[in-house]
Structure 1
């Protein structure tokens, strides 16, 4: 978060905000942050990858094939069965200052308002989080330790040198224009020493390693979604024509 506003009664005095009413804010984000607590749901509904950001590895859901377009978002609605936690907590996050975590809002998100507009208050008169803020704060508090665990697990996998770029056999059929997507090299993982393998198990890295590779079976969803949710300027096909009676696919257009 390059331009955070620390959320507190003091820093938010005289300010309001406009909680998102849909997920249009994610429409240009092809890579959605995830944490290990989301593995089971996310890996069954989208391909996962790890990417390096500022020399740190991050777990992401791959929701598009090119920059600037999220295939899972159309008309402000999330099309997939599972909605990642990042989508539910945006534009808030927990950032670390020293040894403490504090709630912050992205100033560049476009949701900030002044206290004299129709926006929602951050806090009540007695300094407690107002309803919309309290809901996000509760989610962020629940997610934070899982995010920390995920970061440590990914660092352990990186130290074991088992990350490898997505192969051409995956990227070429997708026409993938995104760079830096990695999975786990299964041969490299099988060849690590017993000591390293135990270290990976202790750091809870193994479930992430397995989920990364298993989730690649979901890349077919990107191909299908590209046919019904093309970038602006392209004409998508009808949903019925693409999905037909395929019982393996389930998309929620009402949530």
Structure 2
């Protein structure tokens, strides 16, 4: 668990930080929250679902098919072409103080805070002011914070028109099928049948782009099954290479082999196959070349 501490001049003037070069901190996150401004990019490579938090719906990137495993993090590397904003501010975070004040904090257990060699980013400059990279981190996190409020309003407008429905995923594994519950999707049939007044309300609230981004992203759920299958194949058939697999190469091959002329059925977006592919598959071609001496 992260241990965040408020950044103060008295506590951090003699310390420094460094940028992370690994996404291992996100390796156990099966989902990650998203905000509306990033959905257009996220939907191109990440499956997006809504999750209910109290009485509100929040868009999330679906990153795993079981608790505690993020399939988009392989050996510390983020393998998808888009990284959720929730991770790009790490190791910083915001804490809300009195009168809605936002204070910048940092994860003290991240291994990215200290003094001496390797810690090249000071928290404060020679004038005692916050250093520019720290200001940039604060500005970025404030943008995310403001966008969360916008995201809540948009999702409330979608909920007012009853446009959310459960998205029950079925995972086909070597031991049979299991359900993944707790996810919601846009009810496409209801969206298409909205009367002009209801459609205008959704459009005015900015809900249409959010709805279409989520619907478009659902085909990406198969990517999770693909990564799970290939990682398991490497683990079982080439265990000595299991930490060197080039997942990006696998994804590129999968993308190149997609049949663009076929139309995916709705059921394909609900069933995820993680059973290893049948037949021969040259896994050695997907081992990073720098490790194949």
- TM-score band (shorter)? 0.7 to 0.9
Count of aligned pairs: 248
TM-score (normalizing by structure 2): 0.69
CA distance in 1, matches of 2:214, 2:114: 43
> Residue in 2 aligned with 1:43?
43
Q: 1:227 to 1:154 in 2, by over 3 A?
A: same
Q: 1:220 to 1:245 in 2, by over 3 A?
A: closer
> Residue in 2 aligned with 1:218?
220
Between Structure 1 and Structure 2, whose CA radius of gyration is higher? 2
**Contact 2:158–2:207, Cα closer than 8 Å, also in 1:** yes
Cα offset, 1:208, TM superposition = 0.9
> Residue in 2 aligned with 1:171?
170
Q: 1:176 to 1:86 in 2, by over 3 A?
A: farther
**Contact 1:19–1:132, Cα closer than 8 Å, also in 2:** no
> Residue in 2 aligned with 1:61?
61
Q: How does 1:1-255 map to 2 (within 5 A)?
A: 4-9=4-9, 12=12, 16-97=16-97, 100-105=100-105, 107=107, 109-111=109-111, 113=113, 119=119, 120-167=121-168, 170-173=169-172, 178-230=180-232, 244=253, 246-247=255-256
Cα offset, 1:96, TM superposition = 4.1
For residues 176-229 of structure 1, the C-alpha deviation after alignment (integer angstroms, 9 at most, x for no partner) is 664311101123334445444333222212211111111111111111111234
CA distance in 1, matches of 2:111, 2:181: 30
Task: In structure 2, list runs of 5 or more residues that go unmatched.
Answer: 259-287, 289-293
CA distance in 2, matches of 1:150, 1:127: 36
